[in-house]
Amino acid sequence: MLAGAGVAWTLVIVLALLAMRRGRSLGPAAGQRLILVGGVALPTVLLAALLTYGTLASDRVTGRGDDAAHVVRVTARQWQWQFDYLGPDGAVGATSIDRLVLPLGEMVEFEVGSEDVIHSFWIPRLGGKVDAIPGRTNVLRLRADRRVPMRGQCAEFCGLEHARMAFAVEVRDARGYRAWLAAQAVEGEGDAR
């Protein structure tokens, strides 16, 4: 991105200097060419390049190109977050409130929704953010590659207690993650051990 911005900046400066240097000897045809190159061709080429780069980088950044190893259904409500850890069959295997546990180095797909108002699911250290909208499920994929303390939060003002819409994020190795899931296993519909 820095190289692309540098090239774009250089081209704009060169065109600006050409426009200022333009004398009477260049004539009207040169001015028209400058407008076509600097006002039509250059922006078209730069925007096409940025669109291509953004589209290719999007799969890497959003994780859409990877298969998700785990699925977590996230339900936001005033003033808490509920995390349901889904098994391969889509059934809830474990549940936690205001505490998200992630496996180290594995892609996790989040199915994000809300029960009341619009919230926004965000883990700043992992970078992804998506709105939690009542009646709609939005999908986000994230991977935690380091075991560092993290905090997630609601990034959308959702009412008077919005500041309390935070949750702890823990990253565990594969064995620790499986042990935690087993300890949090759901016995019946909605009951946690």
171 and 77: one domain? Answer: yes
6 and 82: one domain? Answer: no
Instruction: Residue 157: give its domain's CATH number.
Output: 2.60.40.420
Average per-residue pLDDT for the chain = 85
Angle subtended by helix axes 27-35 and 2-21, to nearest 10: 160
Q: What is the pLDDT of residues 148-158, one digit of tens each?
A: 989 999 998 98
Looking at residue 109, its pLDDT comes to: 93
Residue 190: other Cβ atoms inside 10 A: 9
173 and 145: one domain? Answer: yes
Q: How far is the C-alpha of 103 from the C-alpha of 145, rounded, in Å? A: 9
Task: Determine contact, residues 76/137, Cβ cutoff 8 Å.
Answer: no
92 and 186: one domain? Answer: yes
pTM: 0.68
Looking at residue 102, its pLDDT comes to: 95
For residue 149, the surrounding DSSP H or E stretch is none
Q: What is the pLDDT of residues 127-143, one digit of tens each?
A: 878 999 999 999 999 99
Q: How far is the C-alpha of 149 from the C-alpha of 52, rounded, in Å? A: 35
Q: How confident is the model at residue 124 (pLDDT cuts 50, 70, 90)?
A: very high
Looking at residue 35, its pLDDT comes to: 77
| Max mean pLDDT range (20-24, 27-31, 63-67) | 27-31
Looking at residue 121, its pLDDT comes to: 95
28 and 88: one domain? Answer: no
Q: How confident is the model at residue 17 (pLDDT cuts 50, 70, 90)?
A: confident
78 and 43: one domain? Answer: no
Q: CB-hemisphere CA count at 13 Å for 65?
A: 7
State percent of the chain over pLDDT 90.
Answer: 47
Beta strands (DSSP E) in 32-128 are: 70-77, 80-86, 92-97, 99-103, 107-114, 119-122
Tell me the mean pLDDT in the region 153-166. Answer: 89
Task: Provide the sign of the torsion angle of the four alpha carbons 25, 29, 34, 39, taken in this order.
Answer: positive
54 and 122: one domain? Answer: no
**Domains identified in the chain, total number:** 2
Tell me the mean pLDDT in the region 164-185. Answer: 92
C-alpha closest to that of 8 among 52, 46, 55: 46
Q: How confident is the model at residue 190 (pLDDT cuts 50, 70, 90)?
A: very low
58 and 75: one domain? Answer: no
50 and 121: one domain? Answer: no
Domain span including residue 150: 70-192
Q: Is the pLDDT reported for residue 191 higher than 60?
A: no
Looking at residue 193, its pLDDT comes to: 35
Q: Which own/partner contact pairs does 156-164 have at CB distance under 8 Å and 24+ positions apart?
A: 156/118, 156/119, 156/120, 156/131, 158/76, 158/78, 158/117, 158/118, 158/119, 159/78, 159/79, 159/117, 161/78, 161/79, 162/79, 164/79
Residue 94: other Cβ atoms inside 10 A: 20
